[in-house]
Structure 1
Amino acid sequence: MTDDVVRRVFQAVDSFDPDEFVRLLTEDARFVFGNAEPLVGRTAIVAGLRAFFSTIGGLRHRIIRSWQVDADVVAETEVTYRRLDGKDVSVVAVSIWRTHDDDLISDYRIFVDLAPLYAA
């Protein structure tokens, strides 16, 4: 079951549509991307994702492995970002999220080094 859940989450992220992704979240979800300040609530998360997406041309995730322990999911991925100059940059990322009984995500954290994405 974890594989299906993980695939569904990254399909939503890779859609490049923040509204699609936040449908998977609780209204008061907490979202932390790298070393950025936490975003709380769907509205703030959509705004944060739109701001980030404006700096890239697209993205896609390749799931390396995932684990689920109770309500917590950990996914290791290779993320390929399309830069605005058309070049692709791949980095490894780990995403950790917690779900409620309704399967909506209440806490989502991404651990990634984006320095290669913005390097000249």
Structure 2
Amino acid sequence: MTDDAARRVFQVVDTFDPDRFVLLLAENATLTFGNAKPVTGRQAIADSLRAFFSTIAGLRHRIVRSWEVDADVIAETEVTYRRLDGSHVNVVAVSIWQTGEDGLITDYRIFVDLAPIYTV
């Protein structure tokens, strides 16, 4: 099985552009990032991502493996975060998302420990 769906999504995520990312989402999609409360709706998700992105200088995903099962995609990734001081931190993450019949993501969940990004 290929990881085309995951690759397409992470290419957009790695542009560091919340407005572009939310175009992959259904209007009433939900995003749950780590242990934060779920955020619902494109605008709220874009605002939430903007707030998070203001705390880092960039990010890049390397897909370790991914699975597609019906409308669900599961992707294990190694994410390289660029800190505001220019240094880099790698963390492992798992993202799971579900798409509707129109191909837009309806529910996106990210399982990651962000503590290493903010540890000095």
State the match for 2:22 in structure 1. Answer: 22
Give the 4+ runs in structure 1 shifted more than 3 A: none
Give the whole-Å Cα distance in 1 for the aligned partners of 2:37 and 2:2. 28
Give the whole-Å Cα distance in 2 for the aligned partners of 1:97 and 1:106. 7
| 2:116 pairs with 1:116 | yes
State the match for 2:54 in structure 1. Answer: 54
Give the whole-Å Cα distance in 2 for the aligned partners of 1:74 and 1:6. 8
Instruction: State the shift of 1:82 in Å.
Output: 0.1
Instruction: State the shift of 1:2 in Å.
Output: 5.1
Give the whole-Å Cα distance in 1 for the aligned partners of 2:53 and 2:5. 23
Uncovered stretches (5+) of structure 2, i.e. residues with no partner: none
TM-score, normalised via structure 1 length: 0.98
Give the whole-Å Cα distance in 2 for the aligned partners of 1:9 and 1:41. 18
Instruction: State the shift of 1:3 in Å.
Output: 1.6
Instruction: State the shift of 1:5 in Å.
Output: 1.2
TM-score, normalised via structure 2 length: 0.98
Matched position secondary structure for 2:3: helix
State the match for 1:101 in structure 2. Answer: 101
Aligned length: 120
Percent identity of paired positions between Structure 1 and Structure 2: 73
Instruction: State the shift of 1:119 in Å.
Output: 0.1
Instruction: State the shift of 1:26 in Å.
Output: 0.0
Uncovered stretches (5+) of structure 1, i.e. residues with no partner: none
Give the whole-Å Cα distance in 2 for the aligned partners of 1:6 and 1:80. 16
